[in-house]
Amino acid sequence: MEVVLHLPAVPNVELVAAKAVETLGEAMGMDRDGIEAVSVAVVEACLNAMEHGGSSFVVRLAGEDGVSPRMRVEVEDQGRGFDPDACPPDDSTRVHGCVSKRGWGLILIRELMDDVQISSRPGLTRVRMWKELENAP
């Protein structure tokens, strides 16, 4: 079971990906909390793809069987790329009175999903993430 979306970088298109997560998650038997966690993660990945990528990007969703069935989500863009290791740390002191309130996307993705792999170079950035069916936020 796989869903592939070729999405233009237009406002609120990330909700199309979130809707696909909801549909696939329900078909896989994922609970509501799990679906909502994946939805927020895919929204953040789509926003990053639109901010750093080009005029379009690709979202792939798939169910993976096994001892621990899980949903796999990939968001891929062909933008300029970035250094994943240079992303800001999870530091709550950034919140109140901080200079910038941006840059939370990858932190949220890593916290809400069970496993995350990021590869990036100029012309191809891929965020690949997994959520087990039984793991709520």
67, 86, 97, 99: which one binds another protein (CB under 8 A): 97
Cβ atoms of residues 120 and 114 within 8 Å: no
Sheet strand arrangement including 2-8:
2-8, 56-64, 70-77, 124-132, 115-121
Closest distance between another protein and the C-beta of residue 123, in Å? 25
Shortest Å, Cβ 112 to another protein: 7
Member of 64, 74, 76, 111 binding another protein (CB under 8 A):
111
Q: Does 47 bind another protein (CB under 8 A)?
A: yes
Cβ at position 75, least distance to another protein in Å: 14
Contact between 87 and another protein by CB under 8 A: the answer reads no
| 92 binds another protein, rule: CB under 8 A | yes
* Residues of the shown chain interacting with another protein in the complex, contacts defined by CB under 8 A: 12, 14-15, 18-19, 22, 33, 36-37, 39-40, 43-44, 47, 90, 92, 94-97, 101-102, 104-105, 107-108, 111-112, 136-137
